[in-house]
Amino acid sequence: MTEDQCFSLHDAVVSEISDTACYIPNFITEEEERQIIKCVNNVPLPKWTQLSNRRLQNWGGMPHPKGMIAEEIPSWLQKYINKVKALNVFENGVSPNHVLINEYLSGQGIMAHSDGPLFYPVVTTISCGSHTFLDFYKRLDTIEQQQSKLEFSLLLEPRSLLVLQKDLYHNYLHSIAERDSDNIAKSSIKNLHMCARNFREGEIVKRGTRLSLTIRHVPKTSKMKLKIF
């Protein structure tokens, strides 16, 4: 793959779940992946936010219901915002203005959640360093969400791009299980036929350290300092 290669969302639709997800393997090159990992790891330590089960970086500002104070995004990240924007997945002239970088060590994950109303309802994620499984659950109207059963999974390979929108954005929760390896089950992985690698049924795939670049648009922004309580 070359940097100037054109990608088509039409060809990337995960057909088994309609037009609500698109998957593009090798969206970035191995060299681009190395540069992303290098730049992320060279960021000053205060830029990291340490959570109990992972750490993360916010670029473009800190999303908040009162509005995000827009901050300049460095050129090494803007490059990938532009690459995603060129797919025209953000409609009505919307431009991505925020990147959330999550670092997942082997065995780390994230609980079932939705991205919610702070963002334009399209999520685009570039994966670097390692694969992961993204698990999807139907959103329930009760607080008993933990009882919701797993509907399906998507396998996100290193250097791939995932686009979530429409029904998947509004009516499903997504999560990453806390485990250090994944078992390939063709019946539950809806994009397996689209992956760059050929995976065997029952194959155990070890996780490594994964960096995810979640590129989104925050509609409510401000250039003035907000009083946040």
CA-based nearest residue to 179, from 142, 150, 205, 151: 205
Q: What is the DSSP string of 9-60?
A: SGGGB-GGGTTSEEEETTSS-HHHHHHHHHHHHTS-GGG-EE-SS-EEEEES
User: pTM of this prediction?
Assistant: 0.92
Which residues does 201 contact at the CB level (< 8 Å), separation at least 6? 184, 185, 186
How far is residue 127's CA from residue 35's CA, in Å, rounded to a whole number? Answer: 13
Q: Spelled out in words, what is the top-level CATH class assigned to the domain 10-221?
A: mainly beta
Name the β-bridge partners of 210. 104
Domain positions in the chain are 10-221
Question: What is the pLDDT tens value at each position of the chain, 229 positions in all?
Answer: 444 567 888 899 999 987 799 999 999 999 999 999 999 999 999 999 999 999 999 999 999 998 899 999 999 999 999 999 999 999 888 999 999 999 999 999 999 999 989 999 999 999 999 999 999 999 876 655 555 789 999 999 999 999 999 999 999 999 999 999 999 999 999 999 999 999 999 999 999 999 999 999 999 998 765 444 3
